[in-house]
């Protein structure tokens, strides 16, 4: 996001919107963490790109307003969709936007819409330097950086020993934003993707909480 368009965080609980396209397991973890006082977020809105996403039910059960904003490829461009989506999020008063399983690449128009932060959970262990295409794990192992929507599947197909999860700040370059938090996870030979994903969810929950707290701390020091 351009520095000149960033909002200022000046409240104890950050007004937040969550964008999600699936079942919302990480959304539920954020809801629970907020209730337990582990995350200082005011969850204003949950947006799904799919009307049948179970994440919408999770939002309703938690008393959080929910909306479906679908991308109509036949009648709008990606920038038009980004502006429409940003308008819905702005109406909630959200200053922080969390992408937790959001399956659309956001156009620059969304990133320039004036939110204080737009953060994305990515199911891979991303490098400290966003431009690198190789990542080094704690044991010295190196693997390619797996970007894109099928990062876990790609890691399993490549038969690498490790993967992980990362929370990053979104930029115009897909999965190459500044790193806020990451954790690694060992992969087992011939492991089924569904089994690996279930294990990865536990890692993702820690990464999301750690990354959000780091983002808030950095913003607080800057204001």
pLDDT 10s digits, 79-118:
999 999 999 999 999 999 999 999 989 999 999 999 999 9
Answer with the residue of higher pLDDT: 202 or 149. Answer: 202
In a domain, 203, yes or no: yes
pLDDT at residue 1 is higher than 80: no
- Give the percent of the chain with pLDDT over 70: 95
Q: Range of 163's domain?
A: 13-222
Name the band, by pLDDT with cuts 50, 70 and 90, for residue 198. Answer: very high
Q: At what angle do helices 25-35 and 193-222 cross, to 10 degrees?
A: 40
Q: Give the span between the Cα atoms of 100 and 92, in whole angstroms.
A: 18
Q: Name the token pair of 128.
A: 């400290």
* DSSP three-state, residue 82: helix
Query: How much is the pLDDT for 223?
Result: 64
Q: Name the token pair of 218.
A: 């950095």
In a domain, 83, yes or no: yes
- When pLDDT is averaged across residues 21-26 and rounded to a whole number, the result is 95
Number of domains the chain is built from = 1
In a domain, 1, yes or no: no
Answer with the residue of higher pLDDT: 59 or 10. Answer: 59
pLDDT at residue 10 is higher than 80: no
In a domain, 3, yes or no: no
In a domain, 52, yes or no: yes
pTM to 2 decimals? 0.91
| Among 193, 179, 170, residue whose Cα is nearest residue 19 | 170
- Give the percent of the chain with pLDDT over 90: 87
In a domain, 2, yes or no: no
- Identify the CATH number of the domain in which residue 141 sits: 3.40.50.170
- When pLDDT is averaged across residues 124-148 and rounded to a whole number, the result is 96
Average pLDDT, the chain: 93
Name the band, by pLDDT with cuts 50, 70 and 90, for residue 120. Answer: very high
pLDDT at residue 4 is higher than 50: no
In a domain, 5, yes or no: no
Q: Name the token pair of 67.
A: 């909306």
Pair type for strands 66-68 and 41-48:
parallel
In a domain, 73, yes or no: yes
Name the band, by pLDDT with cuts 50, 70 and 90, for residue 209. Answer: very high
């Amino acid at each position: 996001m351009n520095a000149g368009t960033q909002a200022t965080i000046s409240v104890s609980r950050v007004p937040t919107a969550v964008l999600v396209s699936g079942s919302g397991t990480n959304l539920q973890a954020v809801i629970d963490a907020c209730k337990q006082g582990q995350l200082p977020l005011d969850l204003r809105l949950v947006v799904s790109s799919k009307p049948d996403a179970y994440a919408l039910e999770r939002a309703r059960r938690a008393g959080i307003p929910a909306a479906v904003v679908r991308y109509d490829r036949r009648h709008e461009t990606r920038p038009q969709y980004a502006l429409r989506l940003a308008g819905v999020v702005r109406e909630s008063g959200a200053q922080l936007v969390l992408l937790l399983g959001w399956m659309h690449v956001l156009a620059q128009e969304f990133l320039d819409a004036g939110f204080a932060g737009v953060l994305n959970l990515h199911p891979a262990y991303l490098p400290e330097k966003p431009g690198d295409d190789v990542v080094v794990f704690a044991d010295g192992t190196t693997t390619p950086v797996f970007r894109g929507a099928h990062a876990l599947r790609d890691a399993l197909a490549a038969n690498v020993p490790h993967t992980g999860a990362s929370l990053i700040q979104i930029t115009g370059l897909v999965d190459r934003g500044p790193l806020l938090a990451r954790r690694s996870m060992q992969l087992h030979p011939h492991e089924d993707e569904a089994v690996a994903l279930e294990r990865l969810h536990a890692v993702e929950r820690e990464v999301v909480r750690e990354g959000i707290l780091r983002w808030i701390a950095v913003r607080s020091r800057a204001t």
